[in-house]
Structure 1
């Protein structure tokens, strides 16, 4: 029996079907609902996260298009996570090499660093997941500054994984700029520690010299 006509603005989808065909260049495709094909257009997604794939599960409301033909409306992509690519994991591993080596040179046990980074990364990943769910529900979001503070404290590997698995915050250029700035800061601190903090001392001296010059000009 065909499902009853649903109001187009219903907030919560009630039906589930899988994508059987999708034309990315045209922005539409079809779902397999019972024994019928149901049309779905990109504009009928309540939130767009990524290009649908064949076999992907979609939740939707039953509706009618302009010509009174049955179609899916207020669609939501059920799958919230993506598979991590090997290249991404290799790059993450490469970014962890320098901080791990610098930590080892301090003489501290490696398990302390691993435990700390893993714990903070799990917290950061959970924060990303919570923020994405709140975004879908139009609820009060986690401030971006709080996410950056978690990354700065050492949870950036968890943020790296969360951005790629959850497809969250990965397309915002301004956010990504600060995220990569934090990663570069961790790499710089690790490198500088191996150089006996030479560059930090140079920066400190340059700042003091600039302040001294400013004071001299103000007195003059």
Structure 2
């Protein structure tokens, strides 16, 4: 039997949430993004949905065939259109392009000056390729409801030297390019990696 409820919780990074039933029985129902029947958008807290509930083997209820009924009601907690525009605006490509160019020139200079071995050129290439693939897999998981790659893992890859691949993935895949908090952490990893690289070259002078 189809029920009516409201999305009370939603974890977009992990792709699941809970629906509060309007009749109170059961009071809270789990649902996964794969159960959400509206391609092209993600669930929102506060929106009214219709669904069918099924009791799982562990006794818990899970919603299936979840579909939106009416637009979510506006509330004081919902960001304004201007605030949403700020959050959703993609990061400019210029800072990343300049940082990548400076990184390439610095490594070339360090190798030519004998501060780094020639093999050092392959480290950022390999790590960037691995980081790009990690971004691509994480985006695929976000779209299909699969297991997400922790952001801490992505940041560790960036810190190790794969940040150029992360920047390329952000620009080409449009993944992790609209979250101000993530972008701040990304640039922190870039700066920390640059400091470590400069320190290594300085000690070999």
State the alpha-carbon separation in 2 of the partners of residues 145 and 164 from structure 1.
20
Retained in 1: the 8 A contact 2:132–2:165?
A: yes
Alignment of 1:48-197 (within 5 A): 88-106=96-114, 108-110=116-118, 112-196=119-203
Q: Which has the larger radius of gyration?
A: 1
Deviations 1:42-79 (A, max 9, x none): xxx425xxxxxxxxxxxxxxxxxx9xxxxxxxxxxxxx
Retained in 2: the 8 A contact 1:99–1:187?
A: no
> Partner of 2:41 in structure 1?
46
Deviations 1:62-121 (A, max 9, x none): xxxx9xxxxxxxxxxxxxxxxx968753442123323443354345443x1222221111
Are residues 114 and 197 of structure 1, via their aligned partners in 2, closer, same or farther at CA, if it must alter by over 3 Å? closer
Equivalent pairs, count: 125
Secondary structure of 1:136's counterpart equals helix
Are residues 179 and 104 of structure 1, via their aligned partners in 2, closer, same or farther at CA, if it must alter by over 3 Å? farther
Q: Given the two structures, how large is their TM-score scaled by the length of structure 2?
A: 0.50
Are residues 187 and 91 of structure 1, via their aligned partners in 2, closer, same or farther at CA, if it must alter by over 3 Å? closer
* Runs of 4+ with >4 A deviation: 84-88
Retained in 2: the 8 A contact 1:99–1:186?
A: no
Deviates more, 1:183-192 or 1:130-139: 183-192
State the alpha-carbon separation in 1 of the partners of residues 109 and 95 from structure 2.
22
> Partner of 1:75 in structure 2?
none
Structure 1 unaligned regions, length at least 5? 1-8, 14-44, 48-65, 67-83, 199-220
State the alpha-carbon separation in 1 of the partners of residues 163 and 169 from structure 2.
10
